[in-house]
Amino acid sequence: MPSVKVLEEKKQMVADVAGKLKKASAGVLVDYQGINVEQDTKMRKELREAGVDYFVFKNTLSRLAVKDAGFDGLLPVLEKGMTAIAVSENDPVAPAKILASYADKIETFNIKAGFVDGMVIDVGGVSQLATLPSKEELVAKVLGSLQAPIYGLVNVLNGNLRGLACVLQAIHDKKAAE
């Protein structure tokens, strides 16, 4: 029988993970079996740099946290295998993109499921999410499309001024030649 102190620590851990899941805009659950230490270290570094929390948690405790967070659709993937969870509060694409790249490289590293904005998604949904451009890329594309008409207007206005300058220069050269 576990002591009261150990039970309280586990309850606190479950509450912490449930809090992270509730705050997250997206998350991905993976079976991390078969990843070596070097690959795991590199992957964790990439996830950290992208602002993604990545943690390994016992499946029994994960089930409690997932249930508490309201993601009951994730319970079947926590029945077997070793599960790690990656969650991001800001960028919903980052965990899927990074973990999908490792799932492509490592044969035994598999994506189990995920969630986006409170909705549970399957492996196919995570794969589709991984193919989306990042938030920064989307912002850059929107800004580029907003700036394109302005650059066009500037070029048209400059074209008229250039034409006027050429005409005035031609008139000046003609008068100077006479």
Residue-level pLDDT at 34: 81
* Per-residue tens of pLDDT for the chain, all 178 residues: 568 888 888 888 888 888 888 888 899 999 988 888 999 999 999 999 989 999 888 888 888 998 888 888 888 888 888 889 999 988 888 899 999 998 888 888 889 999 998 888 998 888 888 888 777 777 888 887 777 677 666 676 677 777 777 777 888 888 888 7
Residue 52 is inside which H or E element, if any? strand 52-56
Express each pLDDT in 134-172 by its tens digit: 777 778 888 877 776 776 666 766 777 777 777 778 888
HEC secondary structure over 70-96: CCHHHHHHHCCCCEEEEEECCCCCHHH
Residue-level pLDDT at 106: 86
Rounded CA separation 135/31 (Å): 26
Rg (CA), the chain: 27
Q: Which residues contact 108 (CB under 8 A, 6 or more apart)?
A: 31, 33, 34, 35
Rounded CA separation 35/17 (Å): 23
Supply the pTM of this predicted model: 0.71
Q: What percent of the chain has pLDDT over 90?
A: 17
Residue-level pLDDT at 139: 82
Among 57, 74, 76, smallest CA distance to 13 is for 57
DSSP β-bridge partners for residue 28: 86, 114
In the numeric block, which tokens belong to residue 70? 């309201």
Is residue 118 a contact partner of residue 56, using CB atoms and an 8 Å limit?
no
